[in-house]
Amino acid sequence: MTSPKHARDTARGRYYTDPAGGPDLVSVTNVIDTAVNKSFALVPWGVKLTVEYVFDNWATIAHRMLAERVALTKQLKAIHRDAKERAANLGDRVHAAAEARVLGAPIPDDPEILPYVAQLDAWLASWGVDLAEHIEATEITCLHRRLGYAGTADLLIWLPTGPGGRLELWLIDYKSSATRPAKSVYPENTLQLAALRHCETVLLPDDTDAPMPRIERTGVLNLRARSHALVPMPAGREAHRAFRGALETTRWLHAAPSSYPALAAPAAEVRPNRKAA
């Protein structure tokens, strides 16, 4: 996972350091990872990957089942974790390349991500985006000091989506995948966008404060190797209230003890008699 400016990893997940001082701010992704249950999608996906691997390698697995049972079990258990790490690594590289592209910087010579960059280029061209004129910000840190959270917005961009082609300021989050359809999104994507949209402050490159720009539209830009799609998301006040609930849950969980003392039974000689009581 990429590490945005001012972000640091802790035992409780990612937090942001406020350059103005004051308490650390929990990251938006930390809140969602802590408080949103993703097992409904991840568990079937992990099972599917493991089953497919077994089917594709059944002869080798059958040969190893008796002689290498422990090592084989460890390998099978790691299949979904390794796939998740590869996907996260791909996402980080695509994000970095997308940032470089909109800034007009050189793109890394990485054959695996070049098709994703080509899809970004196609999307920018389809909307007639002028990088010098229509990009408001990229990878900008957004803060909500009063509520105690922060996050990084992938892209603030002006698009002609208003009445009569009027330019509107969009907050866009990049999502990449090697397998999911370009139009697919997760409900928690709305929470992430709402949290960023309703921040109070952004940090300028010199770490000074500026008011959060007025965001008119929010969406996920799905980049795939052979396709792309901008999916608008309703990241309004209702979604922000839901995020604030997840924020409170995260705070409670992060502050809760990891263990509690066990309660021992009273000594036999002082144990009250039920009939006497």
Stretches in the chain below the pLDDT threshold 70:
1-2, 39-42, 268-277
| Number of other residues whose CB lies within 10 A of the CB of residue 252 | 11
255: tokens are 């502050």
pLDDT at res. 133: 96
pLDDT at res. 80: 81
CA 25 vs CA 15, 42, 253, 255: distances in Å: 5, 28, 15, 14
Query: Tokens 């799609």 label which residue?
Result: 229
The 10s digit of each residue's pLDDT in 32-71 is 999 988 766 667 778 888 888 888 888 888 888 888 888 8
Q: How far apart are CA 42 and CA 179, in angstroms?
A: 14
pLDDT at res. 5: 83
pLDDT at res. 249: 96
Greatest pairwise CA separation for the chain in angstroms? 87
The 10s digit of each residue's pLDDT in 93-104 is 999 999 999 999
Residues in the chain: 277
CA 11 vs CA 8, 15, 29, 30, 43: distances in Å: 10, 10, 15, 11, 24
Helices marked H in the chain = 28-35, 39-56, 58-67, 69-77, 79-103, 114-126, 131-134, 188-197, 237-255
pLDDT at res. 108: 85
First to last CA, the chain: 61
pLDDT at res. 177: 87
pLDDT at res. 63: 84
pLDDT at res. 138: 95
Q: How far apart are CA 249 and CA 31, in angstroms?
A: 8
Q: Look up the pTM and report it.
A: 0.85
**Is the separation of the CB atoms in 230 and 123 below 8 Å?**
yes
CA 258 vs CA 254, 261, 268: distances in Å: 9, 11, 31
| Number of other residues whose CB lies within 10 A of the CB of residue 242 | 17
